[in-house]
Structures are given as structure tokens and as C-alpha cells.
Amino acid sequence: MIQDSQLLFEYMENHAKDVNREWFEALDEEDPAVLGALRMKNLEYIRLVNRTLVEEEENYLPVFNDWVESVGKDSGHMFTRLEYIFREFANTRDHYLRYVDRFSRERPDAFSYERLDGWKVWVTQFFDRTLQIVIAKTNDTTAKQLEAQKEMINELSTPVILLQDHKALLPLVGDIDTARAKIILESTLEQCSEKKVRHLYVDLSGVVIIDTMVAQKIFTLLEALKIIGVRTTLSGIRPEIAQTAVQLGINFESISIRPSLADALETDL
């Protein structure tokens, strides 16, 4: 296929901008910035498809991988609905194949119908393979970004607030799963060390639900703080959290406990 495809390659190179323009004119996207990026990336891809007609895979594959990587990391594609990506790949493929048909009509004696059908099958398969890889890459990048954002949100929702005389407050709010509990443990120890905290008030009144493993993590935090020289006062323990702690066999003798944050602050400050 590759050795005698030069004529088709030259034809498609000469009409690459036409294929891209016709595809572009059918878009319903309105954002100028998005339109510009899509137009450029689509033209790059069309010319990449052209290269597959005359080059060995080892030559065009690095360029293909770079193109997929850039598309997968592009924020415009990450938040594009899958049906839109499917549709526009199909539209580009259809416009491309129309020009292959035009080539066959303009050069009816250049190649056999079997030869042209072989090219069309190859182009279709290449488009389909690209679509699968792009979607997989986009999903992977999106998942990593969402995980990073989740970790950042968890870290921001675990603030150690300085009070006075090397005392600080850690107000815990919302649901705490195992992943967040791990971040709370690591972040709190780090912040207490950096801020030279000697006494930390840990308020649980904003925590609605807590499971056995998370409760264990919280009390592990209290023990770890003790090891680095930070006293702790626990406040706002709900009955269900207390019950979980008792079931775990946690010893409260060395833990300063107050019914509410207000009571803890009034007593100790």
C-alpha cells in the first residue's frame, strides 16, 4: 500500500486544508478560542493520516503519539462530551474519504477499484483506532486531574488554624473517607510541625458519618501528635463516633475531651 501511494498522498496533501475547511464550516462550536484550537489540531491530524499512506509506521508513529498526547491533555477535549468527540471524528473521516473518491474520479485510470477500496478501509481503520486511543487518553488524563483536584480540596479542607500561645484549631467538617483520613493525618502533622503548634484542638462536631477505619485514623493522629510533642483536646464527639471508638478499644484516659469547641476554648484559653 505504501510503495505506490505517492499520487494519492500528493493529492490529499494539496487538499488537506480543503478537507479541514469543510469539516470546520460544519461545526456548531461558538467559542473562538476552542474553534482555533480544534481547527489546528484537525489539520495536523489530516496531514498525519496522509503520511500513513506513504510512510512506514515506525516513521509516523512518534508524531502520532505526540499528537494523541497533546489532545489528551488539552482542557478543551477533557471536558468535551464523548458523543461530540465521536461525531467530529466521524465527520472528519467522511470529509477525508470524499476527497479519496474525488481522486478516484479525477484519476480513473490510475488505480483499480480494489486498490482504492483498500485505501479507504485503511483510512477508516486508522480513524477508528485513533478515536479509541484519544478517548482512552482523555479519560485517563481527566481521571488524574480529578483525583489531583480531590486531593487538593481535601488538603484545603484540613486547615490547622493558629490561635495564640502556640495553640491551634483543626475543625473537621463533612464526610471523611479513608483517603481523606490519610490526608488529614499527614497534613496535620506537617502543619503542626511547621507552625510550631504545642496544643491542637480537634473539633469533630461537623463530622456527620465516620466508619471504624476512619475513627482509627483519627485516634492514630492523636497518638502521632503526642509523639511529636503536641497536646490535643478533642471536642464535638457525636455518640456514634464515641461508640465506634469504644468498639475499637481506644483508651480515652490520656485524651483531653470536651463536649463542645466553645467549652474547650473557654476552659483552656
Domain check: are 140 and 203 in the same one? no
Is residue 156 included in any domain, yes or no? no
Last residue of one domain, picked from the residues 115, 148, 181 = 148
Is residue 107 included in any domain, yes or no? yes
d(CA 142, CA 145): 5
Domain check: are 18 and 139 in the same one? yes
Which cell goes with 142? 481527566
Instruction: Specify the pLDDT at position 251.
Output: 67
Domain check: are 44 and 124 in the same one? yes
Domain check: are 177 and 137 in the same one? no
In the predicted model, what is the mean pLDDT of the chain? Answer: 82
Total number of domains in the chain: 2
Q: Which domain holds residue 236?
A: 161-268
Q: Convert the pLDDT of each residue in 174-193 to its tens digit.
A: 778 787 888 888 889 988 99
Tell me the average pLDDT across 227-237. 90
Is residue 155 included in any domain, yes or no? no
Tell me the average pLDDT across 209-224. 81
Q: What are all long-range contacts of 76-83, with beta carbons under 8 Å and residues at least 24 apart?
A: 76/34, 76/37, 76/38, 77/134, 77/138, 78/138, 78/141, 78/142, 78/145, 79/142, 80/138, 82/135
Q: What CATH number does the domain containing 226 carry? A: 3.30.750.24
Domain check: are 10 and 143 in the same one? yes
Instruction: Specify the pLDDT at position 175.
Output: 78
Instruction: Specify the pLDDT at position 1.
Output: 47
Last residue of one domain, picked from the residues 118, 148, 178 = 148
